[in-house]
Structure 1
Amino acid sequence: MNRKRITLILATILLVCGIQGASKAFEYNLTRYEINVEPPSSVNIMFTVQDTDGRGISHLTTENFEVTENGQAVSPTESAMYIRKRAAAPYALKTVLMLDNSLSVKADLERIKAAAVSLVQNITTQQEIAVYEFSDKPVLLQDFTNNVASLTDAIQSIRLGYATTNLYGSIVEGCSRWEDTYATAKIQQGYLIVLTDGSDTQGSQTLKGALKARDRRNVFTIGLGAEIDLDALKQLGNAGAFTLKDVTELGSQFISIQRKIESLADSFYWLNYQSPKRGAKTHTLRLKVKGNARDSTLREDFDSRDFYSVRPGIVINSSPTLRDGIEKVKVEPLQSVSLKAATYYGTAVPQYTWRSNNSSVVTIKAHPDDISVGIVTAVGKEGKTTVRVSDEANRYYKQIEVIVSSSMVLIPAGEFKMGTSSMPLNVSYGREEILVHTVYVDAFYMDKYEVTNAEYKKFLDANPEWRKGSKLSASHGGYGDYYLRYWNGNNYPEGKGDHPVVHVSWYAAMAYAKWAGKRLPTEAEWEKAARGGLTGKFFPWGNGFDTTKGNYDDNVGDTTPIGQFTPNGYGLYDMAGNVYEWCLDEYDPDFYANSPRRNPISGANTIKWILDNYMDVSTRRVLRGGSWSNSTWSVRVTRREFDTPKFRFDIPHGFRCAKDQ
Structure 2
Amino acid sequence: MKMITHLKSALLFFGLLAVVSCGNSDDDVQFNPNLDNDLGIGQAVDDCIDLGSDELLLSIQDKFTTLPGKVSVFFRVTDVTGNPVAGLTADQFTIYEQGRNDDCFKTISPSESLARISPNSQVFTNHTLLVLDLSNSVLSSSLTELKSASSSFINNVMDSQQSDSFQMAIFWFDGQDILHELHPLTPSREALLEAIDGITPEISDDPSTDLYGAVIKSTEAAESLVQESSESNTIGAASVVLFTDGTDQASRYREQDALDKVAEANSNISFFTIGLGTEIDTQILESVGKTFSVFAGNKEELETTFNQLSQKVSERANSFYLFEYCSPKRDGSGENNLVIQVVRGSQQGAVQTRFDASGFTGGCQ
Give yes or no for TM over 0.5: yes
Secondary structure of the equivalent of 2:349? coil
Instruction: State whether structure 2 residue 219 is matched by structure 1 residue 190.
Output: no
Counterpart of 2:16?
none
1:255 CA displacement: 1.9
SS in 2 for 1:290: strand
Answer whether contact 2:223 2:269 (CA < 8 A) is retained: no
Any idea what SS the aligned residue of 2:283 has?
helix
Q: CA RMSD in A?
A: 3.4
Q: Does 1:297 align with 2:350?
A: yes
Whole-angstrom CA distance in 2 between matches of 1:228 and 1:174: 24
Q: What SS does the aligned partner of 1:178 have?
A: helix
**1:170 to partner: Cα distance:** 3.4
Partners of 2:75 and 2:230 in 1: how far apart?
10
Matched residue type, 2:70: S
| Residue in structure 2 matched with residue 113 of structure 1 by the alignment | 147
2:187 corresponds to 1:138: no
Cα distance in 1, alignment partners of residues 241 and 338 from structure 2: 36
Distance 1:282 1:232 in 2: 50
Where does 1:159-170 land on structure 2 (aligned, <5 Å)?
159-160=203-204, 161-165=206-210, 166-170=213-217
Map 1:151-550 onto structure 2 (within 5 A).
Answer: 151-155=192-196, 156-157=198-199, 159-160=203-204, 161-165=206-210, 166-176=213-223, 178-179=225-226, 189-200=237-248, 201-203=251-253, 205-275=257-327, 276=329, 278-279=331-332, 281-290=334-343, 293-294=346-347, 296-304=349-357, 307-312=358-363, 345-346=364-365
Q: 2:114 aligns with which of 58, 62, 80?
A: 80
Structure 2 SS opposite 1:206: helix
2:127 maps to 1:94? yes
Tell me, yes or no, if the aligned pair for 2:286 and 2:293 is still in contact at 8 Å: yes
Query: Partners in 2 of 1:193 and 1:291 — Cα distance?
Result: 30
Q: 1:284 to 1:261 in 2, by over 3 A?
A: same
The offset of 1:46, in angstroms, is 1.2
SS in 2 for 1:310: coil
Greater relative contact order (Cα < 8 A, sep 6+)? 2
Structure 1 residues 266 and 209: CA distance shift in structure 2, 3 A = closer
Q: Which AA in structure 2 matches 1:30?
A: L
Letter of the 2:341 counterpart: K
Give secondary structure in 2 for the equivalent of 1:241. Answer: strand
SS in 2 for 1:269: strand
**1:58 aligned partner:** 87
Q: Could you tell me the TM-score, scaled by structure 1's length?
A: 0.39
The 1:100/1:173 distance shift into structure 2, 3 A limit, reads farther
1:97-146 Cα shifts (integer Å, max 9, x gaps): 10012234342233212221222233313342211001332111111224
Q: Using the alignment, how far apart are the partners of 1:102 and 1:271 within structure 2?
A: 46
Match of 1:501 in 2: none
Shift in CA distance, 262/182, structure 1 to aligned 2, threshold 3 Å: farther
Q: Secondary structure at the match of 2:310?
A: helix
CA distance in 1, matches of 2:287, 2:64: 32
Which amino acid in 1 is paired with 2:86?
Answer: I
SS at match of 2:243: strand
Q: How far did residue 249 of structure 1 move?
A: 1.2
Asked whether the 8 Å contact 2:130–2:169 carries over to 1, the reply is yes
Structure 2 CA distance for partners of 1:226 and 1:32, relative to 1, 3 Å:
farther
State the 1:40 CA deviation: 4.4
The Cα shift of 1:206 comes to 2.8
**Amino acid in structure 1 at the alignment position of 2:58:** L
C-alpha distance in structure 2 between counterparts of 1:89 and 1:108, whole Å: 41
Deviation at 1:67, TM superposition (A): 1.7
Amino acid at match of 1:102: S
AA at the equivalent of 2:111: T
Aligned AA for 1:203?
Answer: Y
Secondary structure of the residue aligned to 1:150 is helix
Written as runs of structure 1 = structure 2, the 5 A alignment for 1:629-648 is none
Does the 8 A contact of 2:123 with 2:235 survive in 1? yes
Kept after mapping to 1: 8 A contact 2:226/2:268: no
SS in 2 for 1:118: helix
- More divergent stretch after superposition (114-123 vs 29-38): 29-38
- Is the partner of 2:238 in helix, strand or coil? strand
Give the CA deviation at 1:90.
6.8
Residue 163 of structure 1 aligns to which amino acid in structure 2? S
Alpha-carbon shift at residue 216 of structure 1 (Å): 2.6
Does 2:78 match 1:45?
no
Supply the distance in 1 between the matched residues of 2:59 and 2:152 (Cα, whole angstroms).
30
CA contact (8 A) 1:50 1:56 kept: yes
Tell me how far 1:197 sits from its aligned partner.
Answer: 2.2
Displacement after TM superposition at 1:282 (Å):
3.7
Q: Which residue of 1 aligns with 2:136?
A: 103
Give unmatched runs, 5+ long, in structure 2.
Answer: 1-53, 99-104
Aligned equivalents of 2:76 and 2:172: distance in 1? 32
Quick one: which amino acid aligns to residue 140 of structure 1? E
* Structure 1 residues 209 and 186: CA distance shift in structure 2, 3 A: closer
Structure number with bigger Rg? 1
Deviation at 1:50, TM superposition (A): 4.2
Q: Is the 8 A contact 2:131 2:173 kept in 1?
A: yes
Name the CA distance, whole Å, in 1 between partners of 2:111 and 2:57. Answer: 26
User: What secondary structure, in the 3-state scheme, does the structure 1 residue paired with 2:225 have?
Assistant: coil
The secondary structure found in structure 2 opposite 1:287 is strand
CA distance in 1, matches of 2:340, 2:288: 31
Q: Would you say how many aligned residue pairs link Structure 1 and Structure 2?
A: 286
**Distance between the aligned counterparts of 1:38 and 1:121, measured in 2?**
36
